[in-house]
């Protein structure tokens, strides 16, 4: 039997998430802001929860219908086969979102959806009361442009919570976004990967997990493991597959350094929990003192934005210093995520490519430098006052 699934993600990660779904062998149906819809068998519930690095949650879709009134929402919800998932003793809390739709009151929509499911199950099970003491099937509605999707959550705890980071620094980067940054940077076994502002080590850890082909969900559990509709054998098979595909002999090497010794210790502990200590070396160093050592390398970092850790003046001074020092790293590729709109001006160089992403709710840009810097590109270039507004963003 084929099911319709919905994988949600941070804005800007849809393209990377879609590629992951393709790689797992499932057929994409539609991509909209923050979610990718696709088809797959029951095994997709386990394999996608385990393997999707850029997804926030995985849902199974019960149905989709036009809902421009509470009556339409009630009747559309009631027509769906809830009894195929929810038993007469099971719990089914409801939450959701409504965007650009006539139905905009979330509490009212929650109440309508809950009532419709109850009426459907009352007729199917011949009971008038549900104690909801059994398995929890969290229902979510998503109404966009008067079109309602009704979903059941298969992940439980959000997928960005891999389980290796119980402690983080003050401004942690979400694991799913870090994974996308790594994908864009294209790490290789013969090129040193370095995050010189590692914080809690998320970028380097996600890079090592990708290069060693470690499924991001391998060390955690999912709410759908309690669902009777998904046989235990499906989960066992998916985890066996994931274990068999780990590349323990990978020659990949990553450095995770930070000026704060406490961050380094947090990173070391996180690497151990993630099972990537053999590939990630964590140590204390100022990012403005890193050297190539004659090696080929790629720098991927998420410096302060001036939002929480640094003042804006400190942040801008850091960006200027980064531009001067990173220019000494021979032909190393540099990838920098920040929300500061004037980053290129402060850094002293226009990026070869820029991609718009979101760090939580903060709009950011991922500046990519992968061409050797021309020595004439600097004072001479900026003396001409280039128009930074004329830019083509890579929005894939």
Would 263 be classed as within a structural domain? yes
294 falls within a domain: yes
Structure tokens at 210: 């990708």
310 pLDDT more than 50: yes
Do 235 and 306 belong to one domain?
yes
- Note whether 251 and 132 are same-domain residues: no
- How confident is the model at residue 135, as a pLDDT? 97
Neighbour tally for 94: CB within 10 Å: 19
CATH code of the domain covering residue 112: 3.30.2130.30
CA atoms 200, 203, 207, 209: torsion sign: positive
Q: For 203-215, write each residue's pLDDT tens digit.
A: 999 999 999 999 9
Model confidence at 383: pLDDT above 70: no
Mean pLDDT for the stretch of residues 295-322: 85
* 171-224 per-position pLDDT tens digit: 679 999 999 999 999 999 999 999 999 999 999 999 999 999 999 999 999 999
> CB 166: neighbour CB atoms within 10 A?
10
Q: Are residues 340 and 291 part of one domain?
A: yes
CB contact set of 332 (below 8 Å; sequence gap of 6+): 292, 296, 297, 298, 299, 326
Give the pLDDT of residue 295.
93
Please tell me the distance from the alpha carbon of residue 395 to that of residue 354, in angstroms, as a whole number.
9
Reported confidence tier of residue 378, pLDDT bands at 50, 70, 90: very low
Residues 139 and 179 in one domain: no
290 and 242 fall within a common domain: yes
Asked whether 238 and 208 are in contact (CB, 8 A), the reply is no
In a domain, 207, yes or no: yes
**How many angstroms separate the CA atoms of 339 and 337, rounded?**
7
- Does residue 93 sit in the same domain as residue 179? no
Please indicate, yes or no, whether residues 184 and 132 belong to a single structural domain of this protein.
no
Within 10 Å of residue 331's Cβ, how many Cβ atoms?
11
Answer whether residue 161 is part of any domain.
no
Spatial separation of the C-alpha atoms in residues 375 and 327, rounded to whole Å: 9
Looking at every residue in the chain, the average pLDDT score rounds to: 91
Lowest mean pLDDT among 71-85, 163-177, 265-279: 163-177
Q: Do residues 197 and 134 share a domain?
A: no
Quote the pLDDT of residue 194. 98
Mean per-residue pLDDT, 272-298: 96
Q: Over pLDDT 90: what percentage of the chain? A: 87
Overall pTM > 0.75:
yes
Annotate the chain with three-state secondary structure: CCEEEEEECCCCCHHHHHHHHHHCCCEEEEEECCEEEEEECCCHHHHHHHHCCCCCEEEEEEEEEECCCHHHHHHHHHCCCHHHCCCCCCECCEEEEEECCCCCCHHHHHHHHHHHHHHHHHHHHCCCCCCCCCCECCEEEEEECCEEEEEEECCCCCCCCCCCCCCCCCCCCCHHHHHHHHHHHCCCCCCEEEECCCCCCHHHHHHHHHHCCCCCCCCCCCHHHHCCCCCHHHHHHHHHHHHHCCCCCCCCCEEEEECCHHHHHHHHHHHHHHCCCCCEEEEECCHHHCCCCCCCEEEEECCCCCCCCCCHHHHHHHHHHHHHHHCCCCCCEEEEEECCCCHHHHHCCCCCEEEEEEECCEEEEEEEECCCCCCCCCHHHHHCCCCCCCCCCECC
* pLDDT tier, 372 (very low <50, low <70, confident <90, very high otherwise): low
Res. 388: pLDDT tops 90:
no
Q: Do 185 and 111 fall within a single domain?
A: no
Q: Strand 3-8 vs strand 57-66: parallel, antiparallel, or unpaired? A: antiparallel
Mean pLDDT computed over 102-129: 96
Residue 282 lies in a domain: yes
Residue 179, φ and ψ in degrees, nearest 5: -65, -40
55 within some domain = yes
Sheet of 333-338: strands edge to edge? Answer: 280-284, 254-258, 192-195, 297-301, 333-338, 362-369, 353-359
Domain that holds residue 249: 175-213+223-383
Same domain, 148 and 181: no
Does a structural domain hold residue 72? yes
Do 122 and 206 belong together in one domain? Answer: no
Least confident of 27-36, 37-46, 162-171, 250-259: 162-171
Count of domains observed in the chain:
2
What CA–CA distance (Å, rounded) separates 9 from 329?
34
Residues 106, 206: one domain? no
Provide the CATH number for the domain around residue 246. Answer: 3.40.50.150
**Going by DSSP bridges, is the β-strand pair 297-301/333-338 parallel, antiparallel, or unpaired?**
parallel
Rounded mean pLDDT, 93-110? 96
107-111, 203-207, 361-365, 391-395: lowest mean pLDDT where? 391-395
Q: What is the pLDDT of residues 244-280, one digit of tens each?
A: 999 999 999 999 999 999 999 999 999 999 999 999 9
Is 315 within a domain? yes
- What's the sign of the alpha-carbon dihedral 217, 220, 225, 226? negative
Mean pLDDT value of segment 293-316: 83
């Amino acid at each position: 039997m084929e099911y319709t699934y919905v994988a949600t993600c941070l804005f800007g990660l849809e393209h990377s998430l879609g590629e992951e779904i393709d790689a797992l062998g499932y057929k994409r149906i539609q991509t909209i802001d923050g979610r990718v819809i696709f088809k797959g068998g029951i095994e997709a519930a386990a394999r996608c929860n385990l393997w999707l690095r850029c997804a926030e949650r995985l849902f199974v879709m019960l149905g989709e219908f036009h809902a421009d009134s509470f009556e339409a929402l009630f009747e559309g919800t009631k027509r769906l086969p809830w009894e195929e998932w929810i038993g007469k003793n099971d719990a089914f809390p409801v939450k959701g979102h409504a965007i650009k739709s006539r139905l905009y009151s979330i509490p009212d929509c929650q109440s309508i959806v809950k009532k419709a499911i109850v009426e459907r199950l009352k007729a199917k099970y011949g009971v008038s009361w549900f104690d909801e003491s059994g398995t929890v099937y969290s229902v979510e509605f998503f109404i966009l442009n008067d079109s309602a999707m009704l979903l059941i959550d298969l992940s439980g705890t959000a997928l960005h919570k891999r389980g290796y980071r119980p402690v983080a620094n003050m401004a942690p980067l979400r694991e799913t976004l870090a994974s996308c940054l790594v994908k864009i940077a294209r790490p290789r076994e013969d090129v040193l990967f370095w995050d010189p502002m590692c914080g809690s080590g998320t970028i380097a850890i996600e890079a090592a997990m990708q290069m060693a082909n470690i499924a991001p969900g391998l060390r955690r559990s999912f709410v759908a493991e309690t669902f009777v509709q998904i046989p235990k054998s499906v989960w066992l098979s998916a985890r066996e597959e994931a274990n068999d595909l780990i590349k323990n002999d990978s020659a990949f090497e990553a450095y995770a350094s930070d000026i704060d010794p406490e961050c380094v210790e947090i990173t070391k502990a996180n690497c151990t929990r993630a099972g990537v200590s053999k590939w990630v070396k964590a140590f204390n160093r100022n990012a403005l003192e890193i050297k190539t050592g004659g090696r080929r390398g790629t720098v991927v970092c998420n410096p302060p934005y001036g939002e929480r850790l640094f003042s804006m003046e400190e942040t801008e001074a850091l960006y200027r210093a980064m531009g001067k020092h990173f220019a000494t790293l021979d032909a190393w590729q540099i990838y920098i995520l920040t929300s500061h709109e004037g980053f290129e001006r402060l850094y002293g160089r226009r990026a070869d490519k820029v991609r718009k992403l979101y760090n939580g709710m903060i709009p950011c840009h991922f500046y990519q430098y992968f061409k050797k810097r021309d020595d004439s590109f600097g004072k001479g270039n900026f003396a001409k006052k280039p128009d930074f507004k004329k830019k083509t963003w890579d929005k894939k």
